[in-house]
Each structure stands twice: as structure tokens, then as C-alpha cells.
Structure 1
Amino acid sequence: MIRKAKAVWHGNGRTGSGNLSSESGVLAETPYSFKTRFENEKGTNPEELIAAAHAGCFTMALAFGLQAAGFTPTELATEAAVALEPEGQGFRISRSALTLRAKVPNLDEAAFARLAGEAEKNCPVSKVLNAAITLDAKLVQ
């Protein structure tokens, strides 16, 4: 399976701008620029997309893990916070912090912690990130 996305950029790094499009069409010439990445201008940025990918991948991996263990979640809500930090002359994504709040009937804390930890380690996005990954997973009622 191969998934594709495309970036188009015009101009220099600070004052230029570009857009991102995905093969599925979910991203369709979505704007990005220095200001959408390092300030708060409307648009997206690579780190936001990585955060969305990590949250989505981890959550789906956990859903499959729970299913294999015989549990059906009512809700799995995950936030990924991706940190972009200076490194040398550039930057690096240094960490992705996953915060999960899960409603899973009849699941005890120990089994939940084990299944969530396995999902974090085995989701393909976790495997591709060269960053520290933390997981704060809680069962809620």
C-alpha cells in the first residue's frame, strides 16, 4: 500500500507559501507557510499533520487490540502533541505526547495499560517517528 501527498511551494522560506494536497482529496491545496508553522496563521503545517496521523494511527491500533482481546470501546479520544524544537541550524521533531481518554466497558486498568502500551509501540506512525513518544492513557467512566 502506498499513500501519496504533494507539496507545492513558491518563494523563500520566510515569506513564501505553499499548499499541500493528498491523493484522497481530504487535503486539497491546503495552505501552509512560515506563519502557519511558526505562528498562528490559518492553514496547516507538517507537525500538525504528523500529530493527526499519530493520534489516528495509535487510536485505530488500540481499537484493533481491544477487539482482539474481546473488548468494544464506547469511545477512544486521543490527542497527539508534537514538539518541534531547534537543533543545530535547523529543527527536529523531538517528541509526540499521546493523551488518551478511553471508555471501555468491563476492562480493568492493568489490561488497559498493557493494550494501550502495545498499540503505542506497534502503530506504524510510532515506528516511523525518530522521537520520544509518551503515553498518558486513562480509562474514564
Structure 2
Amino acid sequence: MNRTGMAVWSGGLKDGKGWLSTESKTLSETPYSFSARFKDGSGTNPEELIAAAHAGCFTMDLSGRLGAVGMKPEEIRTTSTLTMEKTDKGFSITKIHLDVLARIQGGDADAFQTAVKQAKEGCPVSRLLNAEISVTAQLNEK
């Protein structure tokens, strides 16, 4: 399976601008720039896309693991907070924290936390990233 994305950039690093597109057209010439990445400019940036991808991947993986132990989530809501810092190698993504809130009627708290740990370590985006990944997960039973 292959997935594609495209980036186009015109100009210098700080005064230039670009756009991003995805095969699915979810992003279609979506603007990005230095100010969107390092300041409060409009448009997207690679780091927020990685954060969203990680939240999505983790959440789907967690749902599958919960289903395997007989728990069907009504909703799993994951917020991914990515930290980028200047290191001796330049800017690096150093941390990602996943904040998870799940609603599962009759959910087993221990099985839930085990599935969270397994999803954190096993989702494909987690395995791709070379960053410290932490999770805070809360199970709300109805």
C-alpha cells in the first residue's frame, strides 16, 4: 500500500510560501509558510499534520485493540500535542503527548489501560516517530 502527498514551495525560507496536497484531496493546495510553522501565521504546517496523523492512527489502533477484548467504544477522543524544540541537530520533534478520553459502557479500566499502552507502542505512526511519546487516558463509563 502506498499513499502520496505533495509539497510545492516558492521563494526563500522566511519570505516564501507553499502548498500541500494529498492523494485523497483532503488537502488540496492547502497553504503553508514559515509564519504558519514558527509564528501565528495562517495555513497549516508539517507538525500539526503529524500531530493529527498520530491522533488518528492511535485512536483507530486503540479502537481495534478494545474490540479484540470485547469493549466497543461509543467515542474515543484523542488530542495530540507535539513539541518541537531546537536541538544540537536543529529543530526536532522531541515529544508527543496523547490525551485520550474514551466512553465505553461497562468498560474494564485495567483492560482499557493495557490497550492504551499497546496502541501507543504499536500504531504505525508511533513506530515511525523518534520522539518521547506519553499518554494520559481516561475511561468514562456511561
1:42 alignment partner AA: S
2:78 counterpart residue number: 78
Q: Map Cα deviations across residues 46-87 of structure 1 (whole Å, 9 max, x no partner).
A: 000000000000000001111111111011000000111101
2:99 counterpart residue number: 99
Q: What is the CA distance between 1:104 and its match in structure 2?
A: 1.0
Distance in 2 between the 1:3 and 1:96 partners? 23
**Counterparts in 2 of 1:100-119, with a 5 A limit?**
100-119=100-119
1:63 counterpart residue number: 63
Three-state SS of the structure 1 residue aligned to 2:37 is helix
Extract structure 1 runs of 4+ deviating beyond 2 A: none
2:49 counterpart residue number: 49
Q: Map Cα deviations across residues 31-51 of structure 1 (whole Å, 9 max, x no partner).
A: 000110011112100000000
Distance in 1 between the 2:115 and 2:78 partners? 15
Give ranges in structure 2 of 5+ residues lacking alignment. none
2:130 counterpart residue number: 130
1:37 alignment partner AA: R
1:65 alignment partner AA: R
Give ranges in structure 1 of 5+ residues lacking alignment. none
Three-state SS of the structure 1 residue aligned to 2:127 is helix
Q: What is the CA distance between 1:88 and its match in structure 2?
A: 2.5
TM-score (norm 2): 0.96
Aligned residues, how many?
141
- With 49-58 and 105-114 compared, the bigger mean Cα shift is at 105-114
Percent identity of the aligned residues? Answer: 47
Q: Map Cα deviations across residues 94-122 of structure 1 (whole Å, 9 max, x no partner).
A: 01100000101111211110011111111
2:37 counterpart residue number: 37
Q: What is the CA distance between 1:89 and its match in structure 2?
A: 5.8
2:20 counterpart residue number: 20
